[in-house]
Amino acid sequence: MFQDRGMLPVKQVNLKVTGTNWSTTRAVGKFWKTINGAYVMQISVVGLVTGTPGSVTLSIAGVTFVNGVNQACAVYSSTDARARVNSNSGNLYVSGTSLANIYVSGIVDLESKPDFLEV
């Protein structure tokens, strides 16, 4: 069962990530509920961008990031890249001069409990 345990990760889920020119290698979210009732996700997404789009918007099924602020994530790529989750959406945006293999991770606030988490 998904229980309030402060800042302890309590549930790990494989995420469905889709996007144009995108192939997912691995996508995992670790979810918990803070003492004040907010839901948080530790995100780890790895994949391949084909072509040279310069940026890619990835949709993460079933999650909505907190409203009012874009949240930065750490990203590793063979080129200079930046990543963020977009406010009040399930979108992860990655940009750079030329993307290929990318690795994104971070701890981000959610707007609400994802539907796929058990209560």
9 pLDDT above the threshold of 90: no
Asked if the structure places residue 117 within a domain, the reply is no
43 lies in some domain: yes
In a domain, 89, yes or no: yes
Helix (H) or strand (E) holding 42: strand 39-49
Distance CA 10, CA 47 (A): 25
In a domain, 115, yes or no: no
Q: Count of domains in the chain?
A: 1
Nearest to 36 by CA among 114, 109, 117, 119: 109
In a domain, 3, yes or no: no
pTM for this model (two decimals): 0.87
Cα angle at 43 between 99 and 48, to 5 degrees?
25
Each residue's pLDDT tens digit, 41-90: 999 999 998 887 888 999 999 999 999 999 999 999 877 889 999 999 99
**Digit-coded pLDDT (tens) for 88-107:** 999 999 998 677 889 999 99
Q: What is the residue range of 59's domain?
A: 11-109
